[in-house]
Structure 1
């Protein structure tokens, strides 16, 4: 690997998984908020079911936006891997702490 490329690769190896993890954290936080909002609506006496529905729709829309963002970042990750292989013969997945756990069998989450 070229000496001038090493700091770039090192930074990307840290920044890409960190960004992916932060997006996951944001999705989890938003799902938690959505759960709290729906539970509060359900558990508050005298609140009609239709009350707060627009807010729940906005939360669901925000969640889908995060899912879209996550997909875009994963595509960027793939593009970086391709560039690394083509230009330096390097695989950014090497030393990537999230790589081993990135693929989860469906039976593990079902």
Structure 2
């Protein structure tokens, strides 16, 4: 494997999981925000429930978008692992979940 491929693989092996973790952090933050907004709406006397409804709806949409982004990140991870396997840029021991899936797929085609 060339040094260029090794460097790219090493960089991606750090960046992809980091991106996945940051998306998870954003999902957690949005969920915490939702809890705080709904709790504040419920617990604030004299404020009609309708006042925060649009905000709650926007947070729910935000959560949906983030969950979609999380799924996309996981698909990206799988696609990059496939590319690495094809180019010899991945030591299968470094990505056990992907390596196991690849082994099962290879066994099915044999």
- Whether 1:76 and 2:76 are equivalent positions in the alignment is yes
Measured against aligned partners, the alpha-carbon deviations of 1:56-93 in whole angstroms (never above 9, x if no partner) come to: 00000011000111111111111000000111162477
Determine which structure has the larger helix proportion and give its number.
Answer: 2
Asked if the contact 1:9/1:92 (under 8 Å) is kept, the reply is no
SS of the residue 1:31 aligns to = helix
Match of 2:65 in 1: 65
Q: Please identify the structure whose Cα radius of gyration is greater.
A: 2
Unaligned runs of 5+ in 1: 100-110
Higher RCO (CA-CA < 8 Å; seq separation 6+): 1
Q: Distance in 1 between matches of 2:17 and 2:92?
A: 10
List gaps (5 residues or longer) in structure 2.
98-110
* Alpha-carbon shift at residue 3 of structure 1 (Å): 2.4
- Count of residue pairs brought into register by the alignment: 97
Q: CA deviation at 1:16?
A: 0.2
Q: What is the TM-score normalised by the length of structure 2?
A: 0.80
Q: CA RMSD in A?
A: 1.9
CA distance in 1 between partners of 2:61 and 2:79 (Å): 27
Residue aligning to 1:25: 25
Contact 1:30/1:63 (<8 A) preserved: yes
